[in-house]
Structure 1
Amino acid sequence: TKLFAESYFVERNIKWIKRAGVKKVDENKIYFETLDGEYQEQAYDFAMLIPGFAGHGFKAYDKTGQDISSKLFAANGLMKVDADYSQKPFEEWSVNDWPQTYQNPSYSNIFAPGIAFAPPHSISKPMVSKNGTPIFATAPRTGMPSGVMGKVTAENIISWIKTGNPEIKHKASMGKMGAACIVSAGYGMTKGTAATMTVSPVVPDWDKFPDWGRDINTTMGEPGLAGHWLKWAMHYMFLYKAKGKPFWWLIPE
């Protein structure tokens, strides 16, 4: 992604700032802190800020009125699931930390697939500025991985309802699944472009793939016009599937 992003930026004469975290945005400027601990600002006339992933700050109570929020939600407000939330140094992180069923451990009838679940930690190594400010990306849980999680969760709930057996048979760990992504970077059937990427697994498995953390034979990417055609076709396929038209189930997540 570094190669794709920087290539597209250079082609469009766009300058970029990395290894920084936004502190505040007003009508004219963005204020940010770098990993070196410097506080800087950037004037702008158009901006889009993607906020940090967090829950809505809900509180939960049982039928006696006791606060059970800590059983349901992590500190970031997202739902706790079958992940390992114990605090461990980066060197001890494992794919086994990541959830497989997206089921809350305290309340088995509550599931939280996709962006709803609280990840055990980030995927990349967490970085902290010289001022002690955490500056690193959260784990991506959208797109294809989210679709797979949703499908697996639905299959488990359906099986539970039909059989009356709460046994969870279908699993989908981000440490074992691969995913594909297409990032659009221009529109037009002859001039459009997009970066097409696959990663396997989504969460690096350093035990299984000690050199790169991922299967290098199935982790690849390529920018170009073909990616735009794929993205265009996928839009129609997704809408077809969402409408439940004949053979919709043949279209993958």
Structure 2
Amino acid sequence: SGKKIGYDYLVIATGPKLVFGAQGQEENSTSICTAEHSLETQKKLQKLYENPGPVVIGAIPGVSCFGPAYEFALMLHYELKKRGIRYKVPITFITSEPYVGHFGVGGIGPSKRFVEDLFAERNIDWIANVAVKAIEPDKVIYEDVNGSTHEVPASFTMFMPRFQGPEVVASAGDKVANPVNKMVVVNRCFQNPTYKNIFGVGVVTAIPPIEKTPIPTGGPKTGMMIEQMAIAVSHNIVNDIRNNPDRYAPSLSAICIADFGEDAGFFFADPVIPPRQRIITKKGKWARWFKSAFEKYFLWKVRSGNIAPSFEEKVLELFLKVRPIELCKDCEGAPGSRC
């Protein structure tokens, strides 16, 4: 509307802009990053069930959110198997990660072998360390690290887009928006280093890549990590108002439960950004039941407005020895670096 609103403190938590970087990706592929995209994907899946053919799933260069692509591939395998048409649908997973199970974080414990075994058991082919260049109605074209081009036939595709800061963040200039990805520049305490009354929370924050990879990849910002960012920022704003010098940084630990259809995987990393204090990787039907229960619990938190109940913090500390935030004596460092 063009209306101007003054502020004492600003928390930027807009979420990202989706960038469909491969030629033809937006027109010829599908996405599950928004409700609208998911509903459109559902319609195209119905056509696949009626007329089975090869499927290609994966992530383009620069993607930082890989988990949903893995879940989608494994859950689609399960659905096709239930319908009795899996043998008619070859599935190929193509990713910019240097290896499957990298997840943009250098892997989580034995995640490389874990994912390779999952794919092998389910007869899902994989191609890693490549850049998807184009998605056409009947094929996916990718380039390997040697510059050679290859094609994979496809009648249905789902590729994760990369994330970028939205125009409203980019318009604030290079001191607020990272020049490369237009995301909010923040320090360890998720405060902008230049404008101390501006903070960033969520996917829109500019956390640097965990490591340099042959094909560009970004680091994920999971729901648990984002809750921790919000808690830290809330404490920091309150302390600033009260002239309390204490500042907090999010621990950036993460619990991820990945649905595989007939069972699920449980991943815990503390913190997500190496080096790590603890790692857990497990698989079983119990993890799928746990994910279903957590979904109901999370929706209750959102609907009730009680995003960080005290009992949740106590349970996490008791069983996983993790706290959402930590006192930080020096906030001037890259987000995710240790205080």
Q: TM-score, normalised by structure 1?
A: 0.71
Tell me what 1:6 maps to. Answer: 116
Question: Displacement of 1:248 after TM fit?
Answer: 6.5
Select which of 204, 207, 211 maps to 1:124.
211
Q: Which has the higher contact order (CA 8 A, sep 6+)?
A: 2
Tell me what 2:281 maps to. Answer: 221
Q: 2:175 and 2:239 mapped to 1: Cα distance?
A: 25
TM alignment of 1:49-64, pairs within 5 A: 49-58=159-168
User: Relative to structure 2, which stretch is displaced further, 10-19 or 239-248?
Assistant: 239-248
Question: Displacement of 1:70 after TM fit?
Answer: 1.3
Question: Displacement of 1:200 after TM fit?
Answer: 2.2
Residue 9 to residue 243, structure 1, CA distance change in 2 (3 Å): same
Q: 2:295 and 2:219 mapped to 1: Cα distance?
A: 24
Cα offsets for 1:160-189 (capped at 9, x unmatched):
34x2x3745221254xxx322111101xxx
Q: Does 1:183 align with 2:293?
A: no
Does the 8 Å contact 2:169/2:184 carry over to 1? no
Q: Does 1:20 align with 2:90?
A: no
Cα offsets for 1:10-41 (capped at 9, x unmatched):
22221111111212222222221112322112
Does the 8 Å contact 2:170/2:183 carry over to 1? no
Tell me what 1:102 maps to. Answer: 190
Tell me what 1:149 maps to. Answer: 229
Tell me what 1:30 maps to. Answer: 140
Q: 2:203 and 2:307 mapped to 1: Cα distance?
A: 27
Tell me what 1:114 maps to. Answer: 202
Residue 247 to residue 27, structure 1, CA distance change in 2 (3 Å): closer
Select which of 169, 182, 189 maps to 1:77.
182
Question: Displacement of 1:71 after TM fit?
Answer: 1.0
Select which of 228, 242, 249 maps to 2:302.
242
Q: 1:168 and 1:80 mapped to 2: Cα distance?
A: 21
Which secondary structure state, in structure 2, belongs to the residue aligned with residue 148 of structure 1?
A: helix
Question: Displacement of 1:52 after TM fit?
Answer: 1.6
User: Structure 2: which 5+ residue stretches go unaligned?
Assistant: 1-110, 314-323, 325-339
Does the 8 Å contact 2:264/2:285 carry over to 1? yes
User: Structure 1: which 5+ residue stretches go unaligned?
Assistant: 62-67, 83-99, 128-134, 187-191, 206-213
Q: 2:296 and 2:170 mapped to 1: Cα distance?
A: 40
Q: TM-score, normalised by structure 2?
A: 0.54
Q: 1:246 and 1:105 mapped to 2: Cα distance?
A: 30
Does the 8 Å contact 2:184/2:200 carry over to 1? yes
Tell me what 1:140 maps to. Answer: 220
Question: Displacement of 1:60 after TM fit?
Answer: 6.1
Does the 8 Å contact 2:169/2:183 carry over to 1? no
Which secondary structure state, in structure 2, belongs to the residue aligned with residue 171 of structure 1?
A: strand
Which secondary structure state, in structure 1, belongs to the residue aligned with residue 226 of structure 2?
A: helix
Does the 8 Å contact 1:101/1:168 carry over to 2? no
Higher helix share: 2
Select which of 248, 259, 280 maps to 1:170.
248
Cα offsets for 1:195-248 (capped at 9, x unmatched):
10111221113xxxxxxxx33xx2120111111111111101101111227896
Question: Displacement of 1:4 after TM fit?
Answer: 2.8
Task: Give the total of aligned pairs.
Answer: 202
Identical pairs, percent: 32
Residue 202 to residue 240, structure 1, CA distance change in 2 (3 Å): same
Q: 1:141 and 1:70 mapped to 2: Cα distance?
A: 22
Q: 1:246 and 1:103 mapped to 2: Cα distance?
A: 24
Residue 234 to residue 37, structure 1, CA distance change in 2 (3 Å): same
Does the 8 Å contact 1:58/1:77 carry over to 2? no
Cα offsets for 1:103-133 (capped at 9, x unmatched):
111212211122111123x113322xxxxxx
Question: Displacement of 1:146 after TM fit?
Answer: 1.6
| Aligned residue identity for 1:149 | M
Residue 48 to residue 167, structure 1, CA distance change in 2 (3 Å): farther
- Backbone CA RMSD of aligned residues: 2.4
Q: 2:186 and 2:269 mapped to 1: Cα distance?
A: 24
Question: Displacement of 1:56 after TM fit?
Answer: 2.3
Question: Displacement of 1:155 after TM fit?
Answer: 2.4
Does the 8 Å contact 1:8/1:185 carry over to 2? no
Residue 166 to residue 126, structure 1, CA distance change in 2 (3 Å): farther
